[in-house]
Each structure stands twice: as structure tokens, then as C-alpha cells.
Amino acid sequence: MRNNHDIDYKIYGEEMQFVEVELDPNETAIAEAGAFMMMDDGIQMQTIFGDGSQQQGGLLGKLWGAGKRLLTGESLFMTAFTNIGHGKRRVSFASPYPGKIIALDLLQMGGTVICQKDSFLCAAKGVSVGIEFQRKLGTGLFGGEGFIMQKLEGDGFAFMHAGGHVMERELQPGETLKIDTGCIVGFTRSVDYDIQFVGGIKNTIFGGEGLFFAVLRGPGKVWIQTLPVSRLASRILSYGTTNRREEGSILGGLGNLLDGDGR
């Protein structure tokens, strides 16, 4: 039996997806600011402090929960969408960049999923959107994107969004996966997370892939994305600078002239 609101949903689209959540009377969905796309008449939209979960009882609990969200770069406030009508109503939330939306039934996943700090999209009311500090010293010093992550807790549905193609991998007990920290979307609580040095002087200086990668050890489920938003933003930025350089091309400057970009 669920304590969180039991919402129905449907995901539309291929590369630029959105999720349509169907709310019964008095049911509520919560979402990050900027995720809202559209809603039926009869749904009330309200800004709330923190995530509105039952775990944030009292003023101090709400302040602590909201303060933790600041550490993940999110707003102190979230938006709640409540069906105040008599019949079913729908509200939709859109992914902010090309990729996929992942539906998580937290009841079936041990009640907790750890995810990248910018991957949470929306959830049923009652799901707690908190923070997860990686406990190991190496992770804290060198973890980069993977050091401070979000923690989704509860027994309702939550939705993550990821960049590019998404692969779901079930790790067996003791099975290890080495992965770029930015390519991790999320994983279940039973997965052990650590950071490992790449090693080798040539890898360190000329590898181009960073000095560290994440090590995930099973058992548990992992979601992997092919296009982290940081990588997408970096490529777009490199094409927007005045001194554009074609990677790996000796004739980069000539190529810029030929394609009309002679800056």
C-alpha cells in the first residue's frame, strides 16, 4: 500500500519527451520550477517551500529540507499541482533538453533512488526530494558531478530526465561498472558508489576524459545516459566562442572559412 499519492501517467514523444500525469480529485504532483508544460482546467498550481513531503514535519524540518536543496543548485521552492475538481484532470511536464524521461516506481525499488542533482523532473506528492552526500573521501575530493547527488525517497512515482539515449543496467552482486560521472543518471540505494583515479601519465595528460571516473558495484539497478547536459553545454559553448577551433583538424581555420565562419 502506498502512502504517497498514487498517480497515473503516460510518456509522449521520442527525443523531446513530456510526461502527462493524471490526477484524481485531491491528488497532487510536485515539480521543479520550469518543468511545467500544460494542465487541464480544475488544477490548482501553488508554490510550496521545499518538496511538501510528510518527512518535512514542522518549520525546522522544512527549513532543513529546503536548505539541502540549495546545495544541489535547486530552488528553495517547488510547484504543487492539485486537482481541485470532481473528475480526473491532467498536467504535463516537459524534459528541458533532448533525451528520455524515466519513470520510477519507488515502491518497487526499495523506497530510494539516488540521481544526478539536475535530473529530477516531477513526482507524486509525498516523495521526498533530498540530498545524498557520497561518504568516501576520494569521492568528496574528486567526485565532480557525482559528489553531491539528489535522493528520491518514498513509495510513489517519480520521474527523472536524461540526455541522449538511456540504458538501464542491472548489476549483479559484486559486479563492477566503471563510468564517466556525468553519464550516471541514477541508481538504487543498494549500489555502492566510489571514485577511482584513471592512472598512467599518458592518460592523465593526453587522455581528454578527465582524471577520475565513477565505480559502481552491485547489486542494484543503474540508469546511464549518453549525453550529459554538461557535455552538451560544453560543445555548444565551444561553437559559440569567437576563436572556434575544429577538434582534431589541421585545416580547422580553412574549414571555418569554407563554411562561412571566417572569424
Q: Record the pTM.
A: 0.78
How do residues 104-155 score in pLDDT, each as one tens digit? 999 999 999 999 888 999 999 999 988 887 655 454 444 444 467 889 999 9
CA separation (Å) from 82 to 2, 23, 79, 103? 18, 8, 10, 20
How do residues 62-106 score in pLDDT, each as one tens digit? 555 555 555 555 556 889 999 999 999 999 999 888 899 999 999
Angle value at C-alpha 62, between 157 and 109, nearest 5 degrees: 25
Report d(CA 201, CA 204) in Å as an integer. 5
pLDDT number for residue 89? 97
Pairwise pLDDT comparison (149 vs 212), residue with the higher score: 149
Q: Which residues contact 35 (CB under 8 A, 6 or more apart)?
A: 79, 93, 94, 96, 121, 122
The reply to whether CATH 3.30.43.10 applies to domain 8-243 is no
